Amino acid sequence: MLDILPINAFTHSVKPYIIAGPCSAESEQQLIETAEALAALGVGVFRAGLWKPRTRPDTFEGVGSKGLKWLKEVKRHTRMRVATEVASPEHVEQALSAGIDILWIGARTTANPFAVQEIADALRGYDIPVMVKNPVNPDIDLWIGAMQRLNLAGIRRIAAVHRGFSLYNRSTYRNDPQWHIPIELRRRYPSLPIFCDPSHIGGRRALIQPLAQQAIDLQFDGLMIECHITPETAKSDAAQQITPAELDRILSCLTLHTDTPAGDEILHDLRRQIDALDTALLELLSKRMEITNEIGIYKKQHNMPVLQPGRYNEIISRLVSRCAGTGLDPDFIKKIFETIHSQSVANQLKL
């Protein structure tokens, strides 16, 4: 159960709601210049990390509390609302006394119920919007649990931020989107505002536009996008930050959708689930092809034939026998895997 207020308790600008700003605050000048450019685009909420949870200890860990007065200056100067990440009760206390408008809990913190509980306890009695990023691991209940902890402490302006999930093998994405997870979250809590963070999912500038469009197609409420005045010099996440001008271009290219008539909501929800599953199938197929190519290289190096009929029969009969009880027609599965297998063989022959 989540007792939360709808998206307009968070922000009153038009959909999709945009939160933008650098990964990290680096200097007052960097913040002001970035914020001025974003305010000119009509962005209502400015983000900047002060305390940075970095994977490795030898990297920039944020300017810490000295950046609070820079954010206050951004607020005074641009009238934007300002948001920062908190990971401990000390961060919460300092952010609240500096008048930060919106807090967010980072992916590594969401994965730790002790830390989330301490943050929730520090927030008890305050009315401030809090965004909760998904945990680094693909566990929807852990994500919901973090939001419930805040909710039980009296926080009702809560939004979820989908930033993708860590995988041992990074493929196209820095963090795998696994769209079915935020879609399931929406199914369980239809009024929970959900933002997408294409910057941390993609990890590369070139992926922000297509990911943002996918998020819009899946009816996310808004986007959190990392923007830096000179992205290539950024002290953290340089490869994924974009300039305010690039943000402007991306936003103006987005295809927005009109609101669905209430009666179509069920159909749309089901179609969203189908689209997410199709995307997941595509990604699985691409991973499968990568592995069959590796096998092809191995066969070539060891002078083995490409086609091994015994193995082919083994694949088909194993899957056909697994159809029992799934509702899947074995002939259909046979056809699909014959096609997949013949494509793999064709790829191996080309090596």
Binding to Mn ion in span 237-296, by CB under 5 A = 237
163 lies in the site for ligand PEP, by CB under 6 A: yes
Render 83-116 in DSSP notation, one character per residue.
EEE--SHHHHHHHHHTT-SEEEE-HHHHT-HHHH
199 vs 344 by CB, closer to ligand PEP: 199
176 lies in the site for Mn ion, by CB under 5 A: no
Tell me which residue has its CB nearest to Mn ion.
23
> Rounded to a whole number, what is the largest CA-CA distance in the chain?
72
Looking at 4, 19, 23, 74, which residue binds ligand PEP (CB under 6 A)? 23
Roughly what angle, to the nearest 10 degrees, separates helices 309-321 and 330-350? 150
**Distance between CA atoms of residues 158 and 310, nearest Å:** 55
Looking at 49, 182, 193, 202, which residue binds ligand PEP (CB under 6 A)? 49
Contacts of 288 (CB under 8 A, 6+ apart): 340, 344
Contacts of 204 (CB under 8 A, 6+ apart): 174, 239, 240
149 lies in the site for ligand PEP, by CB under 6 A: no
Q: Where are the alpha helices (DSSP H) in 218-329?
A: 244-253, 265-301, 309-321
What does 107 interact with, of Mn ion, ligand PEP, none (CB < 5 to 8 A by kind)? ligand PEP
Residue 265 corresponds to which amino acid?
E
What does 272 interact with, of ligand PEP, Mn ion, none (CB < 5 to 8 A by kind)? none
User: C-alpha angle with apex 162: 111 to 70, nearest 5 degrees?
Assistant: 85
Binding to ligand PEP in span 196-235, by CB under 6 A = 200
Binding to Mn ion in span 64-123, by CB under 5 A = none
Binding to ligand PEP in span 116-135, by CB under 6 A = 133
What does 174 interact with, of Mn ion, ligand PEP, none (CB < 5 to 8 A by kind)? none
Residues that bind ligand PEP (CB under 6 A): 23, 49, 53, 106-107, 133, 163, 200
